[in-house]
Amino acid sequence: MKIKEALNFINATTTVRAKVDGDYLNVFSKDMISDNWFLKLNTKAINWDTVLKHWGGLTDVAPEDLARAMDVIQRLLDTPVNERFPEKKYRLVAKRETSFHPKYVSNIITGFDEL
């Protein structure tokens, strides 16, 4: 499961929200801000031992939403770290003599200066 998918699943609940702050995924009550989290995990975490828990932040959280959020986190922890992040996309750009419009490369022919 990718981190963005986990955010979408958690944010689809009625009383729980999730947000990524830097390297951390904060899970908090819908009525609170992300600094009042009840679960905080590093996006590269591999087990529950590294998940920070603060059960005082569980104000007005429905039990089924808490169960859903914890299930999503478990699926995220079961996913290998390198599969959690979106793939990087690269684009090859060649500059013309004018710096106003880059030309995107669609075909490269060796032996010629044209792109």
Q: Mean pLDDT for the chain? A: 83
* pTM (2 d.p.): 0.70
Write down the H helix ranges in 2-114. Answer: 3-11, 63-78
- Statement: residue 113 has pLDDT above 60: no
Calculate mean pLDDT across residues 51-56.
88
User: CA 92 to CA 40: how far, in whole Å?
Assistant: 38
- Tokens standing for 7? 């955010």
SS3 11: helix
Backbone φ and ψ for 43, nearest 5 degrees, come out as -65, -15
Calculate mean pLDDT across residues 61-77.
93
Share of the chain above pLDDT 90, in %: 50
> How confident is residue 15, by pLDDT bands cut at 50, 70 and 90?
very high
